[in-house]
Structure 1
Amino acid sequence: MSRYTRKSEILASSVISSTNQALATLMDIWDGLGIKEEMRLQRIEEVKKHIEELFNRMIHEEREMKDRIEKSIQFCIKQVKTLCHDLSIEEYKADENMTILQIERDLRVRLELLSKQKNERMEELRILQQQDQALCSDLCVTPYYIPSGSIPSLVQLEELKEHIKVQTEEKRKRLQVFSALRAEIRQCLNEMGRQPENSLEQDAICDDEESFFLTPENIKALTVLKAQLELKKEALMSTLNAVKEKVNSLWDLLQVTQEERDSYQKISETSIYDELKMWESELARLEELKMANLKQVILKIREELKDYWDKCFYSDEQRKEFSPYYCDDFTEDLLGQHDEEVVKMKMFYEKCKLILDAVAKWETNWTQFVILEKKACDPNRFSNRGGTLLKEEKERAKLQKLLSKLEEELKSRIDLWEAEQGREFLIKGSKFMDYVATQWEMWKQQKEREKQDRTNKKEETTPFKTPIKRPAGACTQGTPSSKNRKLNGTTNSTMSRTNTTHPGVNLTTGKVPLPTIKTPLKSRDTPVRTPLQDNNKQTVAFSSQPGSYSEFKEEISKKSSKNAIFNSTINENL
């Protein structure tokens, strides 16, 4: 710095020296010319004046330059401070060792950099706001707020970018939902065979996705529209199925050929609406044909009605309540009454199908149980071989358990049904448990009658003979010899003589008739017990008669102390 100062001082000294030299030269010239002192003063005054004007002008210009620089510095400082604040960066501080010109130049450079950074941020903000505005317009949401005219900070720009990213993902999801809904709505409309009826349906199937605002309300409206169309489609399908069911019923009634039916069943690739119109046309044709064949149709309906009566276990009294069934005046009114009754029975059957199926299962197992019981009472059953008796006994025990289980389940189901419906559930005109008790009672009575008939038949066919007294110490049983066992005729005669010594012995079979125990029948006023419990008691009462192969084997293996006739299958040495 001192070096630059010395150069300027030397230059200033040279200016003074030059000035003095110039004045001296002027003095010499003025002396040579003989110019007077007054003229010299005037001329020197002019020189001084020119010099002073020059210096003053230069000083003024330099001062103006200094003021301008100082103002520029103040302005730049202010601008840089403002930009630093707006850009959210640290404020600029000038170096104290720098001159005014250096400070001014540094501030100008700093201001240019900050201005450029400001412009870049504003341009980035403009682009991001355009993207955000477009997304928010499609989604109908509020754009990310940044005060207009302000310079966004780096944090604000990052938040705006994140907001755009979120809205872009949201638009993608909504667009995906919209595309799926649009495809389903379009498919539903095509399947139903109808065109869009309102602006929402038109917008929903429009190919231009940008024309539809992906707002939550619009998405919800599309969801509701899809549900409504599906309900309409289901209603059309329900109507179509109902018409098809009526047509199939009329086909069965009118005995339409299978070829004609197949021609309708094979129709495909058509809308539900067109298919419904086709089936309705066929239904109308069949209705006209039905009216022309009332008698045959009514008779066919009566067969169907009888089938439902059988499935629902209707008694004769319940069937007679529908008097049109027995009318022979085949009119359209009679046909309508039959149709209503069939619909009523069908609805009742469908409502009680589980109970009725269980009752039918009980009936089937009851029939099988009765058959096995009859076989158990058949005297010829002991001639069977191969373990048939044991199999039948196991099957009978299994059926007893199954019947008991079915009765308990049906009782609980029927009680629940009666509580819900507020009326009795009847099987062939009676409550189920009363019906079951009646079946068991009828079976017991039948069993008793058959047993009594067998006893009476034996008494009628067996002649009474006075027994011959045997000597003391004689064997109580005529043991046939081996020869008698080989010869049929001799065996029969020996058995006949043996039987004459014991009253009540069957002459044909050589067996003592089993005693008969009569069981008093219960009246309807007697409290109803579980039928299987009564059956078990009866089994104990009739224990004198073998009920199974094991019991039979046990009976013939016993050795009596007196008045017993040994079976021919027992060893003589016993």
Structure 2
Amino acid sequence: METEGLENELIQSIRPSLNELLRIWDYVGYNKLERSQRLKHFVEKLETVLCEVIKEENSARLIMEQKIELRRREIADMCQQLGLAPFLPERGLTSSELMRSLDEKAEELIQQKSARCERYCWLRSKILHLDHLLGGDQISDITKHKLDIDFHTTFPPIIKFFGKSNCIDQNNTDKNGHSNEYESLDPSLISSIQTLPDQINIEKLTEIYEELQSIYTPLANQHAALREDIARVAADIFYQPQSDKEAEILTIVGLKHLCKNGNSISTPGVVRRANDGTNCVMPISTPSENSEVTTNGLDNNHDTYEPVVNKEILRWLTDWRLRLVKEKARLVGTCEELRAYLLQMWKRLDKPESEQKEFLEMHSGYKPETLEALQEEVDRCQQMKWENMQTYLTRLESEALRLASLCCVDEKIIQLPNDSDKQDPEILINHLETILEQLNQTYYLYRPVYECIAVYESSWKQLIDVEARLKDPSIFSNRGGILLKTEKEKKRLLKEVERTEKEAILAIEQYELKSSSHFLLSNGKTFTEHINERWNNYKTLKDTSKSRRSIVPTTSNNSNSTISNNNTTGNTTRPTSANLTGSPVAHT
């Protein structure tokens, strides 16, 4: 600004005051000399004020120059700490412009410095936290063996520059082993930090953190998988925790209702429970991420937490899961056995199907209370068995005969031994139940074989029936083509018997190959030997029948009937399933 411009601005600003001064002088009536004296006094005062203003401006200029110099030094120090080139402001700037430029650069450098300090502290806290989660012996192995440094000496905490401690040190954990949370640096204290971590240390910390994270992540995933399995099985079988450690896990995964005592004691070193999802240091995260480890979804509202994944805890979880799986298998197997037994008992006791269905629907699953209800029903059926002994015994004999036929066992197996009291129905019931259990075991052990043999036996019986009809002399009258139809049926059945024979032999061969044993009948013969012997007997009987066959005139229906009965009873032996005496026995 030029002098004339300053004068004009000053005159314009004080003109109203000068006019007021002249009006006062006119009113008083000062003469020319008096006015001259007063004007001189007024000018002297203005000069004094102007000198004070100049003095203040000079002081302000000196202060600004001092601030500029301090800011220059501060910027130079921060550039050196950050490893940046020295800052050179533009030439020809006034002091005020230079001050603004330096302030802007200082703010930029402070932000960089703050970001580096926060990154350093965040990495250090995460490393210490991961080391704690991994058992506390990973940092020394990585830093000494790979970087040849001591972690706590090379990367000291910056604790004194925080309002609260936000670097997690070895001793900075609570009594339960839970690490304190990360807090941001106070921006007003950033400039006070004299020892700033360099970029090399940041890179080393990043390398250590990534390696620890690579170790922790698969272990944390293993821990999560174990928790999911445990939670699923525990919910299925309504498992009651046996210790505080188990109660803590079940509570965190959302199964608190399974714990008898809802306020279970927290077990140090098992899991780390967070207060909320915002201040929890998660296994894989950066300061700007909100990633979290979740459970199997049984209860999405429970607190997130980070597990400690040392070998002891993972081994304990693995053993616990195995115990739960075994317990579930025991419950499932026992419940299924009881249901199968109840179906047999209900059938023998004539229980209505609607009541059976209602009971099974009401007591489905395999929880402990289900097992208890099934056991109570078994006890009730046992009581009803003795109350309705005769009806139960009749059905038991019928079932035993049917199963003996399926297993190719002689029906005599259901008879009591000679030294038993045959008059006591209780002894007979116990004997039949034992025989049924043995026959059931035998049948289900060789079920594919027995099913094929049953089809073969059915075809063989049909063939023998056709042979018996062909021996009836009345069939040779050929009324309505009965003889021709019977011969065709015989040819069909012969093919059917051959086909079912092959299927039965193939099923036996597959069983023998699978079990590495031999399928033998109780008489010591193989099934192939049995069918060969049967065919030989069949051919012998057929040849004998041909030599004795003669055509008898059909004089009357009575004579035909008599001849038919005589031939059937006198000349024909019809093999049945009873010829397969005894149950098959597998010999290695």
> How far apart are 1:435 and its partner, in Å?
2.1
Q: Distance between the aligned counterparts of 1:126 and 1:88, measured in 2?
A: 14
Q: Distance between the aligned counterparts of 2:514 and 2:206, measured in 1?
A: 67
Q: Distance between the aligned counterparts of 1:454 and 1:189, measured in 2?
A: 77
Amino acid at match of 1:244: R
SS across alignment from 2:517: helix
TM-superposition CA deviations, 1:92-111 (whole Å, max 9, x none): 99xxxx9xxxxxxxxx9999
> How far apart are 1:242 and its partner, in Å?
1.9
1:287 aligns with 2:332: no
Which of 352, 359, 375 lines up with 2:446 in the alignment? 352
> How far apart are 1:137 and its partner, in Å?
2.6
> How far apart are 1:353 and its partner, in Å?
1.0
1:412 aligns with 2:516: no
Which structure would you say has the larger Rg? 1
- Tell me whether 220-229 or 296-305 shows the greater mean CA deviation: 220-229
Q: 1:454 to 1:340 in 2, by over 3 A?
A: closer
Aligned to 1:147: 155
Amino acid at match of 2:245: L
Amino acid at match of 2:521: L
Aligned to 2:39: none
Q: Distance between the aligned counterparts of 1:203 and 1:418, measured in 2?
A: 47
1:214 aligns with 2:307: yes
User: Any conservation in 2 of the 1:86–1:153 contact (CA below 8 Å)?
Assistant: no
Aligned to 1:514: none
User: Any conservation in 2 of the 1:192–1:233 contact (CA below 8 Å)?
Assistant: yes
Q: Distance between the aligned counterparts of 1:150 and 1:92, measured in 2?
A: 18
Q: 1:222 to 1:117 in 2, by over 3 A?
A: farther
Aligned to 2:240: 195
Amino acid at match of 1:151: P
Aligned to 2:330: 235
User: Any conservation in 2 of the 1:312–1:427 contact (CA below 8 Å)?
Assistant: no
Q: Distance between the aligned counterparts of 2:461 and 2:366, measured in 1?
A: 52
Q: Distance between the aligned counterparts of 2:444 and 2:428, measured in 1?
A: 24
Q: 1:131 to 1:270 in 2, by over 3 A?
A: farther
> How far apart are 1:332 and its partner, in Å?
4.7
SS across alignment from 2:118: helix
User: Any conservation in 2 of the 1:381–1:389 contact (CA below 8 Å)?
Assistant: no
Aligned to 1:123: 114
TM-score, normalising length: structure 2: 0.49
Q: Distance between the aligned counterparts of 2:122 and 2:431, measured in 1?
A: 73
Unaligned runs of 5+ in 2: 1-68, 92-98, 144-150, 157-194, 255-272, 274-301, 555-588
User: Any conservation in 2 of the 1:192–1:273 contact (CA below 8 Å)?
Assistant: yes
Aligned to 1:137: 129
> How far apart are 1:219 and its partner, in Å?
6.1
Q: Distance between the aligned counterparts of 1:83 and 1:228, measured in 2?
A: 61
1:87 aligns with 2:82: yes
Q: 1:197 to 1:126 in 2, by over 3 A?
A: farther
1:384 aligns with 2:379: no
Q: Distance between the aligned counterparts of 1:381 and 1:114, measured in 2?
A: 124
Q: Distance between the aligned counterparts of 2:351 and 2:522, measured in 1?
A: 36
Q: Distance between the aligned counterparts of 2:468 and 2:375, measured in 1?
A: 56
Which of 319, 329, 334 lines up with 2:423 in the alignment? 329
Identity level (%): 14
User: Any conservation in 2 of the 1:315–1:428 contact (CA below 8 Å)?
Assistant: no
Aligned to 2:183: none
Q: 1:153 to 1:293 in 2, by over 3 A?
A: same
Q: Distance between the aligned counterparts of 2:321 and 2:512, measured in 1?
A: 43
- Tell me whether 237-246 or 147-156 shows the greater mean CA deviation: 147-156
> How far apart are 1:238 and its partner, in Å?
1.6
> How far apart are 1:350 and its partner, in Å?
0.8
Amino acid at match of 1:237: V
User: Any conservation in 2 of the 1:171–1:214 contact (CA below 8 Å)?
Assistant: no
Q: Distance between the aligned counterparts of 1:165 and 1:418, measured in 2?
A: 51
> How far apart are 1:190 and its partner, in Å?
3.8
TM-superposition CA deviations, 1:430-456 (whole Å, max 9, x none): 54233212321222233223322323x
> How far apart are 1:426 and its partner, in Å?
0.9
Q: Distance between the aligned counterparts of 1:439 and 1:175, measured in 2?
A: 65
Give the RMSD, CA atoms, in angstroms.
5.6
> How far apart are 1:313 and its partner, in Å?
0.7
TM-superposition CA deviations, 1:132-191 (whole Å, max 9, x none): 42586378256896723552317836973995799599779958973x765664454344
Q: Distance between the aligned counterparts of 2:350 and 2:466, measured in 1?
A: 42
Aligned to 2:44: none
Q: 1:83 to 1:346 in 2, by over 3 A?
A: same
Q: 1:298 to 1:122 in 2, by over 3 A?
A: farther
Q: Distance between the aligned counterparts of 1:270 and 1:418, measured in 2?
A: 33
> How far apart are 1:267 and its partner, in Å?
0.9
User: Any conservation in 2 of the 1:87–1:152 contact (CA below 8 Å)?
Assistant: yes
SS across alignment from 1:384: helix
1:256 aligns with 2:351: yes
TM-superposition CA deviations, 1:398-441 (whole Å, max 9, x none): 336415523642563576589627xx621677542332123212
Aligned to 1:443: 538
> How far apart are 1:302 and its partner, in Å?
2.9
